[in-house]
Each structure stands twice: as C-alpha cells, then as structure tokens.
Amino acid sequence: MASPGNLDKSVVEGFGEEWSRFSNEHLDVAELQVMFELYTSDFPWEDLPDDAEGFDAGCGSGRWAKFFAPRVGLLHCVDASEAALGVARAALADQDNVVFHHEDLSSMGLEDASCDFGYALGVLHHIPDTELATVTCVAKLKPGAPFLVYLYHDLAGAGWLQRRILGGVTVMRILVSRLPLRLRSFVADVLATVVYWPLARLARLVERRGADPAGVPLFQYRDRSFYVMRNDALDRFGTRLEKRYSREQVVDLLEGAGLENVVLSEGPPWWVAVGWRRPTER
C-alpha cells in the first residue's frame, strides 16, 4: 500500500486516470521501441550482471518495463497509483520476472544496496520532495550500479520566444490540470489536434526539405503518431505538479543523492541522465 508521504494525491490520481486511458496496448510497438531507445541510449546494458535485479521507479503503464523486463533477471515495478499498476500488470502479464509494488517512491520497501540498476523516467519532477525520492532510489542500488532518469528541462539558454512559450504553457497547465477529468482530457485532445499535430508535421516538412527542424516548437514529435501526441498533451497539461531543471541542477540533484560520473544526453528528450552509485566508503 502506498504511504501518504512524499506524494501529491491529485497527481497520483491524475496519472492513474491517464494510464487507464492511454495504456499503449494499441500503440505500434515499433514506435514505442524508438522512444525507449532514445531514453536508454546511454544506459550501460553491457555492465549489468547476468540475471540483474533492478527497479522501475514510477512504472506507470509499464511501457518501459515492457522493454527492460526481457533483458534482466528480476524487475520491481513501483508506483503510487493502484490504477496505473493495474494497467502495468495487464501490459506485463507475459513477463514472469516482474514484481509489483504499490508504494510511494520515498518509502520503497526494497532492501538498501540490493539492486543492480534502477530507472525513473518522467517521474521525479512530479514528486513534492524530488531530492528525497532520488536519495531513496539511489539507496536501493549496489555501489557502482547505474541509475537512469528523465527530468523536464527548464529551457535555460533557449531563445526569448521559447521561454515565453514555456511561460504560457505553464499558465495553461495550471488551469487545465484543475479541470474535471473529462474536460481535462477533452482540452488535451484539442491541444494535440490544433497545436501538437500541425507543429510536428511542419517540423517534418522542414526536415524533408533539408533544413534543421529544431527551430520548430515540438519538433520532437515530427515522427510520432497522433496517439502519442494526445497522451503527451494530457501528461503535460493535465498534471498539477511539475518541476523543471537546468543541466547543472540535474547534475547537482544526482550527485547530491550519491551518484557519480553523471552523463547527460545531448539531444532530446531533455534531460536524460545516467549516473552510478558511489562506493559507500571513499
């Protein structure tokens, strides 16, 4: 049972609703695979021991566990939402090496220093005390074990227009996230239709004409399906609690939690980072 500790009840309920609506069961596996490879491009698969044991912190629908589980010995899927875990259980029904935990990430029952790897993709920035949750996750790792994260970036160093757009998006998110579920989902679908899809297809056209699409907002979606756009629109605009980080803040967060040799990806999605747990004694 998830404790009432380091979590926002509305956020947990919102993600349970989101993953119940977007279970990804009808999404092309090839598209999901491409997304997974972007998140794990720097993950040290070759360093994992045979039959590695690790955890998915905030597993949601189980979409990433679906790719991790076949490559490891035992995977612990942890989430504070019972509804999300129900979706994950269905998605991973064919995997016999997955154990599910209905827990707050800051009070995970896994034994300290017991895991060969861990990851938290798109989760830590939705938790009230991100530092505590990160420290707790790192404590579950064996010395030298890798921890992979994805955290929203704050557009530090971006142009004036991009920062203004982010400011407007933040205001809209605050408003939309407080709507009833059906209306919140409807608004997210409208945004996917009139904002995400046109900009994504414009970026694709720019790229096909030999130019750099990175100047087009939401260019990362140029090869994504409308399903993914709808899912991500609800994710971005339907969540009440969201934090954003600069490159330096990501490094500080991870090193402060006990990781070393932190590596950040240079391309989208930002920020994907991996670090290794420091030895317990130095």
* Confidence band of 160 (pLDDT split at 50, 70, 90): low
**Main-chain phi, psi angles of 267, to 5 degrees:** -115, 175
* Confidence band of 280 (pLDDT split at 50, 70, 90): confident
Q: At the fourth CATH level, which superfamily is domain 9-154+244-277?
A: Vaccinia Virus protein VP39 (3.40.50.150)
| 203 has pLDDT over 80 | yes
Single-letter amino acid, residue 241: L
Cα separation of 20 and 121, whole Å?
A: 18
Predicted pLDDT at 25:
85
Cis before residue 269, ω within 30 degrees of 0? yes
* Confidence band of 3 (pLDDT split at 50, 70, 90): very low
Please list, in sequence order, all residues whose beta carbon lies within 8 angstroms of the beta carbon of residue 121, skipping any fewer than 6 positions away: 39, 58, 64, 148, 149, 150
Predicted pLDDT at 168:
85
Cα separation of 233 and 192, whole Å?
A: 6
Q: Higher confidence at residue 160 or residue 219?
A: 219
Taken in order 206, 271, 177, 225, is the CA torsion positive or negative? positive
Average pLDDT over residues 133-147: 97
| 98 has pLDDT over 70 | yes
Q: Identify whether the C-beta of residue 250 lies closer than 8 Å to the C-beta of residue 273.
A: yes
Predicted pLDDT at 21:
92
Question: Model's pTM, two decimal places?
Answer: 0.93
Q: Higher confidence at residue 14 or residue 267?
A: 14
Q: Identify whether the C-beta of residue 57 lies closer than 8 Å to the C-beta of residue 75.
A: no
| 282 has pLDDT over 60 | no
Predicted pLDDT at 164:
78
Cα separation of 86 and 100, whole Å?
A: 10
Torsion region of 56: left, alpha or beta (phi above 0 gives left; psi -120 to 50 gives alpha): beta
Q: What are the sequence ranges of the domains in the chain?
A: 9-154+244-277, 160-237
Cα separation of 57 and 60, whole Å?
A: 9
Predicted pLDDT at 7:
84
* C-alpha count within 13 angstroms, C-beta hemisphere, residue 33: 3
* Confidence band of 88 (pLDDT split at 50, 70, 90): very high
Q: Higher confidence at residue 265 or residue 267?
A: 265
Average pLDDT over residues 112-137: 97
Query: Mean pLDDT score of the chain, rounded to an integer?
Result: 92
pLDDT digits (tens, 9 = 90+) for 36-77: 999 999 999 999 999 999 999 999 999 999 999 999 999 999
